Amino acid sequence: MFIKSPSFKNNEMIPVKYTCDAENINPALVFSGIPPTAVSLVLIVDDPDAPGGTWVHWTVWNMDQGTAEIAENSVPGRSVEGNTDFGIPGYGGPCPPSGTHRYFFKLYALDTALELDASATAAGIEDAMQGHILGSAELIGLYRRG
């Protein structure tokens, strides 16, 4: 499985457009190599370099297994966006207090759909995925304010 973005390359800087310093919209993402037996896809975006521990910026689950991309500033139909560590659902872009942080865009293919409501946390999503992951892929973007 693969995840990439036309907006930035793996381990390179995320453009300011996708951060709290500008439009704060999600970058476009492209998926490939999804296992044919997948039932749904999950995306978790987090920052392990946050001062208080890993900070969750976006969760999306129950994406159709045929989803090949997420367009800029959008969410695939029928998928669910969960609450982030910003306390609201939807994408919350990079906004580090200091230094360069890493943002992990983690894609998972599952053999099931998740029976969770939109209040689910990333930890709850990860727990529900256990035993159902058919494959995964990761894209890392960097951001430093100022």
SS (H, E, C) the chain: CEEECCCCCCCEECCHHHCCCCCCCCCCEEEECCCCCCCEEEEEEEECCCCCCCEEEEEEEEEECCCCEECCCCCCCCCEECECCCCCECCCCCCCCCCEEEEEEEEEEECCCCCCCCCCCHHHHHHHHCCCEEEEEEEEEEEECC
Asked if residue 146 has pLDDT above 80, the reply is no
Distance (Å, whole) CA 55 – CA 40: 24
Position 118 confidence tier, pLDDT thresholds 50, 70, 90:
confident
Query: In total, how many domains does the chain have?
Result: 1
**Which CATH number covers residue 29?**
3.90.280.10
User: Percent of the chain beyond pLDDT 70?
Assistant: 100
Q: What is the pTM of this model?
A: 0.97
Domain that holds residue 15: 2-144
Q: Once rounded to an integer, what is the mean pLDDT over residues 124-137? A: 97
Kindly state the average pLDDT of the residues 120-135. Answer: 96
pLDDT for position 80: 96
- 31-83 tens-digit pLDDT: 999 999 999 999 999 999 999 999 999 999 999 999 999 999 999 989 999 99
